[in-house]
Amino acid sequence: MRILVLHQNLFDRLGYEKVIDHSVHEVTYAGAPEYLANIPEHIRCETYPWDPAQPVVAQLRPLLAARPPYDRVIARHEELITPAAELRAEFGIPGMQPEVACNFRDKVAMKHTLDAAGFRVPKYLSLDSLDHLDAGRVPWRGRTIVKPRDGRGSQGVVLLDSVEAAVDFVRAQEAAAGAAFRDRHELEEYVEGPILHIDGFLFEGEVAVVQASEYVGTTFHFNHGEPLGSFQVDEPDLADWAVGCVRALGGETLTFHLEAIRSAEGPVFLEVAARCGGGNIVRCTELRTGAYLHTLDMASDIEGALATRFIGPARTDLCHGWFLFPGHVYDGARVTVQVPDGVLDEPIVVSHRLRDPNAATPLSHSFRPEHLPLSGVVAAVDPAEVEGWIRRLFAITTVSTRPVGADALGGTDRAPAPSR
């Protein structure tokens, strides 16, 4: 089999070597040089570098046109879902096609499709559908969100106190950026309530794995410097609702990360992506269900059958949760993490990671644990205990910038022995 991998991840974290027999298959890894550099030297493969500042499809089209046909195109990063779909369509390769990929990337398209299918979504307004934006034409009042149609992790999202303020903000952005801003953004009604995420994998439309969780904090506030976490919940109806959304969007064989708002009338769809959730979501899903989503998805795709060997023992008796402290808000400075003695050694803590105190924090937004001041995984029988512990950690932990050479707590990955 000939396999093209659009590579924008850590090689070992994705588990490529567990899924792909590189001695049998002809494999090409295409990606920016920094990602190709993390492929181990012993891996038998071809590499094809691209310029991350240029369109991916245009750079890969000559490669596919000049070679024997590829049998699979694998893409695990959200920004590569659409390019992979376009290449499949152009070169007759099986897998997710552009019309479905659009439903998992364009936030206007996904809400339009689900609204038509009878799922509750926030009211929204596509800016490119209007000749002139006027507050009187917005079909709701009150707090309003301006967001990129193809964004992720709440990056670029702005929350305004009123429709009028949102309209003024859009007009100012259009004056600066022109039609490009209008083409890429939408207005959305702010719906109050806790944010949920549901993660899983469907194979040929059937559920292989699904797990619901509730956030502690929000990705929006994480972007502005607040910690973020979540804890798993046992809500079969919520999981079924999320799977129904994915199917209505055309999802058949895919990993998904869906976010929703909990309301008194039931869940309200927020957005969905055809990828794994960030941070420690994949790890917590594996601990709970036994399935590592990356390898399960890729192996099932390559083999054309559900790769059940990548679903291990489950721990449904435990609720797992995770926590992340943002690093990008410190503009590259070194930081000191202060946690009261003993807290990270408590039995509820499965593992935690403290960033090397002498390492600069990242300049760009990231949910990846290796980029963060502090992150970890916790577990207990009672979801309320997990939620409460995460909230307590957030309340008692401080992260502050420090001069080069100052002492700080950190620099280790620690995994206490299981206590359950």
Determine, yes or no, domain membership for 49. yes
**Considering the domain boundaries, does residue 106 fall inside one?**
no
Overall average pLDDT of the 249-271 stretch = 97
Tell me whether residue 118 is in a domain: no
Q: Is residue 334 in a domain?
A: yes
Last residue of a domain, which of 135, 154, 189? Answer: 189
Instruction: Write out pLDDT tens, residues 200-214.
Output: 999 999 999 999 999
- Residues 268, 133, single domain; the answer is no
Q: Which CATH number do you get for residue 31?
A: 3.40.50.20
Per-residue confidence at 77, pLDDT binned at 50, 70, 90? Answer: very high
CB atoms within 10 A of CB 274: 25
Give the domain-ending residue among 95, 115, 144.
95
Per-residue confidence (pLDDT) for residue 412, from 0 to 100: 42
Q: Note whether residue 114 is domain-resident.
A: no
Residue 100 lies in a domain: no
Task: Note the pLDDT of residue 415.
Answer: 39
| 90 shares its domain with 223 | no
pLDDT exceeds 80 at position 48: yes
Residues 273 and 221 in one domain: yes
**pLDDT tens sequence across 106-149:** 999 999 999 999 999 999 999 876 667 777 788 899 999 999 99
Which CATH number covers residue 261?
3.30.470.20
Number of domains, the chain: 3
Last residue of a domain, one of 159, 189, 219: 189
Mean pLDDT of the chain: 92
Does residue 247 sit in the same domain as residue 361? yes
CATH number, domain with residue 166: 3.30.1490
Domain that holds residue 42: 2-95
How far, in Å, CA of 380 to CA of 319, rounded? 5
Same domain, 199 and 174: no
61 shares its domain with 83: yes
Shared domain for 33 and 173, answered yes or no, is: no
Q: What is the pLDDT of residue 154?
A: 74
Question: Do 134 and 220 fall into the same domain?
Answer: no
Co-location of 398 and 278 in the same domain: yes
Same domain, 184 and 218: no
What digits encode the pLDDT tens for the residues 237-247? 999 999 999 99
pLDDT band at residue 411 under the 50/70/90 scheme: very low
Distance between alpha carbon 106 and the CA centroid of its chain, in Å?
A: 15
294 located within any domain: yes
167 and 236 together in one domain: no
Is the pLDDT at 417 greater than 50? The verdict is no
Whether 110 maps to a domain, the answer reads: no
Stated pTM of the model: 0.92
Same domain flag for 21 and 152: no
